[in-house]
Structure 1
């Protein structure tokens, strides 16, 4: 009987194993304690969780906060259930003995209270005694016992009696959860009472319903745990795949950097080899000359030992006619421009990597989303070729090119034209690079009248300034070797540019102009006021202007002024024009050998001035700048030379 009971209870306990698991350590409770919100945890797990806290103690499961540290008390019921669960597999000998003893007591016969020998067959609830068939006979034969209530034999009859009135329990008070006799009804007249059988049936129905709810809750808990295990397994597999992809990508990045390193070192080593070969050749020539001098010296010494005067004179005459030129060492220098370009490319690559590594991840995520109502950019798979090509291009890019989708209305004015008749150009949209962030386009309508008046007043104030006053905004910069066209040569520490008669075969760079002989300044301007001057030695077929870093590098739209990303003035022999967005504006001819450029980024305008005894305005552009602006130069005619003037504020 004990074995059968144990076999029936084990599945029920095992089904509650999920309910008896600590949510912190995910193991069966070990000395379970209960917090005020009703959840249970292992005492050691909860103590470890609250070790470093001095206030704001909260439940690890439902996050309910308690004003102070709760006093943890052992949950004795759960301890008992856990002990039974743990004893299902191994068993507890003492508990089994107790169960067997209880079963033996339940199976033992109930003896007659009269003879104390024969087994009782009935119990009289009126007499509160049990009787065998012999002593029960008066209850059947005598009319005096006819009203006595008989039932099967019952143990512990005293537990069925009211200790106050010594009467049998006949009712159950649900409010006080206790059994009462008929006399107790007077003190429980305001309570809800039911006969014992009816209360039993009701309680039995409630417990069965509760048992069904617990079973369903247990099944849901099992399903939830299985779901958590599945999701956890999937998350681990996804993380493993992502780690493999990241390792592959970083290996490719390292390979690209190593390739760039080898290419850069190869440039220096080839230049070193070229110079060393020349020195070796000169050293060889000097060695031959030394041998020749040594041979002539020996011949002269031999001639001096000659005793025959005639023979001596013949040899002396021949030796005197022999001449040896002085040793000459030509000047051999390394191509420092090439080495500097290689070194600069390494520095640029380092800057790009630093910039990419130091940007916080949240900002990178935010940068992918446009500010306006624009569709988010799709991110291709990391193992696709397009991403690898873009990665290689980004590693070679030395400046941050951040194109924006903008619409700019340009108002151009000259001091020879009616200022009330501005020329409005058609808006154009620059094409952004792949993966580059974009912003919503500003309004293309006419500017606010007050703002326009303010800009006009600001321009007038700058036009009244002298050159000395403008020098406080002096910007001394160099030219960017990586943007120079193969026909544009740079010299004097990258401050002088001219058109070369032969192609210079510069190394490929994604920022280099391929179709137009142009070059950009190395520095960019994102705010403030900046002034620089350019000297024109021959001002035919050249241009001076500014542009965004996102301006195209190849194609017809890559020429200054032929797109919405650049502004310039251009000299074609005696004709001067202003260009923006592929719209030309003819300007009066101006004799000038030095041009000043004043950029007011925040004010939204750029002025082109002739630098003479007095500054004269050539042209002005108004624009709402949305990107970093770079000085830009166009040279076409052979012999054209432009030089950046070094100024002191």
Structure 2
């Protein structure tokens, strides 16, 4: 399907838009016609249909309510038609707050993440983008602005590194020039006393060469380190630029248990004492407080981050879509189709579970942020605690044979998990 983005600029005067609107269908004129007697304009189809439904000899104008004994003749208003066509083709305004939807003529306030187009609130709630993941233009602008600021800082750092390389190159050149000058002067001096002291000449030249080599090696090492730093900065800049077009992972409320609450932005799941009264469907978890991600992964390397509650009992991990949705086998890790890391079985200790095998890890939780790295082809699922420094917690190894969904479980009061970082397909 083609992207249906259409930005209609706000006209310089609201009166012009009123003059181009049909009083019957309240839409922009389509093939306008004009009544003979009163001169008001309507869509040809609208006025014809209206008069077809009126009684003979009781025709009236829907605009001014003027009555006619005989059905008036109508003719095309070429001037209004030309203005209407030009109105639709007007160049978009540069001010975002003046952008309007050409379908609903409402200000474009949202950005559709799935279609990559600007839309109005009617497109999101009742139009062709209904049910799609959207975010406000301010949110999208703020995220991009932050990434651009980081990119600008990294650019400055790379420029500084390049300047340092140039300075060291110049220093090395100056050292070489000075060494050459010293060599020349010493050679001239030794020439005068060659007959008396050939040995001191050789020793002096050797010492000069040794010192030159040492200085050159040190400068070369510094240049090599700065080149490595410059390459690293370039790589980070490329990653930041790629992040500007990355997409977000969210939770699939259609799989959420009725005893978990999912936030409006589909990023947070928390334990709920009251039932959410969602319809009972085959994909919904019935017996355990869990929810799946809307995205699934069948190849590549992917990374995302979550924030977990300090208290309660929570589990995060990956599952095949074939996991049971009711009964004991529907819990994370109590089967061969799911892998999970959690906290709550043994107080503040991390534990991992797969195929009903629960292992208590020696690590105590020291933070609330976790990084999750999936390498599908290699068959690795790794968890990292995002403290200072970052700490590796555990890695599962397996041969993945089905697509994988991220899964989030909250099993006790005050338990919650929030997706805090964007989902990044890695190179």
Shared fold, TM over 0.5: no
Rg comparison, structure with higher value: 1
Give the TM-score category using the shorter length: 0.3 to 0.5
Normalised TM-score (structure 2) = 0.42
More strand per residue: 1 or 2?
2
More helix per residue: 1 or 2?
1
Normalised TM-score (structure 1) = 0.28
Query: Which one scores higher on RCO, CA 8 angstroms, separation ≥ 6?
Result: 2
